């Protein structure tokens, strides 16, 4: 059951102030490790959008109060000092800079409240509340841009719930997605990630429980290829869902791009997205410096099973034109 604590938070007296706030969200949709964070951060840097930031997740229960009572800057500064004291400079799993202002997925707010990480009828009211809160304390002339990889396999429900929503789908070669997932989760459970402990309460609980921590390390280890098989299965399921449901969306409601395209042609790719949304960048950016190209080193088990994995993902590979 969701935590009852969420009903007793500091913002409760101020919720009526944003109860009439309207929003038509724009969702970045893609698997974990497909480039959603890179795309989110780059789009937010254009200064065209409001977004969910680490500060909003860590201090979700008081963001209205802080805004109305003009203590937001003080709280942010305290968070910056906390980040420094914990030695947090990046997310560790991918060298992405981590600050209280880092754009982050809303799924952590849902999960920290005791709900599932993806949008569904049970957590819909909380999601609407968080969207209204973010819009209320942000620039009202900017649309709300959101990302949450957990919703990639539920985008049809999202569209049915928010008919005016727009989608930005980002694709990445699934072999590289699986490889990156394995590296990230192994690092998360072999070394304490202070940034993740601040935004994801469940992670801290797992780390503090030796048996659970050991179980997670085993499940995603290279023993018997357990971790590889788990992530291959989830990639097959999510890409199959995409292929089966993408035609339910109108062509005017979504745009698709590749992570590889974003890395190779960052400026033109971002401009293409903004043009689709009818927006113009408000900030002049050095796109080549925002997006660093990193060499891809496949784990031994991924290299060994490369052909087998590609065979399982052949329909998706064919759909997006990836070589198998």
Q: What is the pLDDT of residues 191-246, one digit of tens each?
A: 999 999 999 999 999 999 999 999 999 999 888 899 999 999 999 999 999 999 99
pLDDT at 4 over 70: no
Could you tell me if 185 and 206 are in contact, meaning their C-beta atoms sit under 8 angstroms apart? no
Could you tell me if 316 and 243 are in contact, meaning their C-beta atoms sit under 8 angstroms apart? yes
Q: For residue 279, give Cα distances in angstroms to 50, 143, 284, 316.
A: 13, 10, 14, 30
Each domain of the chain, given as residue ranges in start order, spans 4-15+24-320
pLDDT at 8: 53
Tens digit of each residue's pLDDT (9 = 90 or more) over 242-273: 999 999 999 999 999 999 999 999 999 999 99
CA-to-CA distance for 261 and 170, rounded, in angstroms? Answer: 10
Could you tell me if 306 and 298 are in contact, meaning their C-beta atoms sit under 8 angstroms apart? yes
CATH of domain 4-15+24-320: 3.40.50.300
Could you tell me if 174 and 309 are in contact, meaning their C-beta atoms sit under 8 angstroms apart? yes
Q: For residue 319, give Cα distances in angstroms to 78, 165, 243, 316.
A: 47, 24, 8, 5
């Amino acid at each position: 059951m969701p935590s009852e604590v969420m009903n007793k938070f500091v913002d409760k007296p101020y919720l009526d102030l944003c109860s009439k706030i309207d929003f038509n969200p724009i969702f970045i949709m893609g698997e974990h490790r497909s480039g959603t964070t890179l795309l989110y951060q780059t789009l937010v840097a254009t200064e065209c959008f409001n977004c969910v930031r680490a500060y909003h997740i860590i201090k979700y229960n008081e963001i209205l109060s802080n805004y109305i009572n003009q203590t937001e800057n003080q709280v942010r500064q305290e968070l910056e000092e906390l980040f420094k004291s914990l030695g947090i400079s990046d997310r560790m799993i991918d060298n992405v800079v981590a600050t209280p202002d880092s754009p982050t997925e809303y799924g952590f707010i849902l999960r920290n409240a005791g709900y599932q990480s993806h949008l569904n009828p049970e957590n819909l009211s909380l999601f609407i509340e968080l969207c209204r809160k973010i819009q209320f304390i942000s620039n009202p002339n900017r649309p709300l841009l959101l990302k949450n990889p957990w919703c990639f396999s539920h985008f049809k429900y999202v569209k049915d719930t928010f008919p005016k929503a727009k989608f930005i789908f980002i694709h990445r070669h699934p072999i590289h997605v699986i490889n990156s997932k394995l590296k990230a989760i192994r690092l998360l459970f072999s070394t304490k990630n202070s940034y993740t402990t601040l935004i994801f309460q469940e992670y801290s609980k797992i780390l503090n429980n030796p048996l659970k921590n050991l179980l997670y390390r085993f499940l995603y280890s290279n023993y018997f290829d357990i971790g590889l098989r788990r992530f291959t299965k989830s990639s097959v399921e999510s890409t199959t869902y995409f292929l089966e449901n993408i035609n339910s969306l109108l062509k005017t409601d979504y745009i698709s791009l590749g992570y590889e395209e974003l890395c190779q042609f960052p400026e033109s790719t971002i401009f293409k997205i903004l043009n689709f949304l009818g927006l113009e960048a408000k900030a002049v950016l050095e796109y080549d410096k925002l997006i660093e190209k990193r060499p891809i080193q496949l784990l031994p088990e991924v290299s060994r099973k490369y052909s087998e994995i590609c065979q399982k993902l052949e329909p998706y590979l064919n759909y997006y034109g990836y070589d198998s």
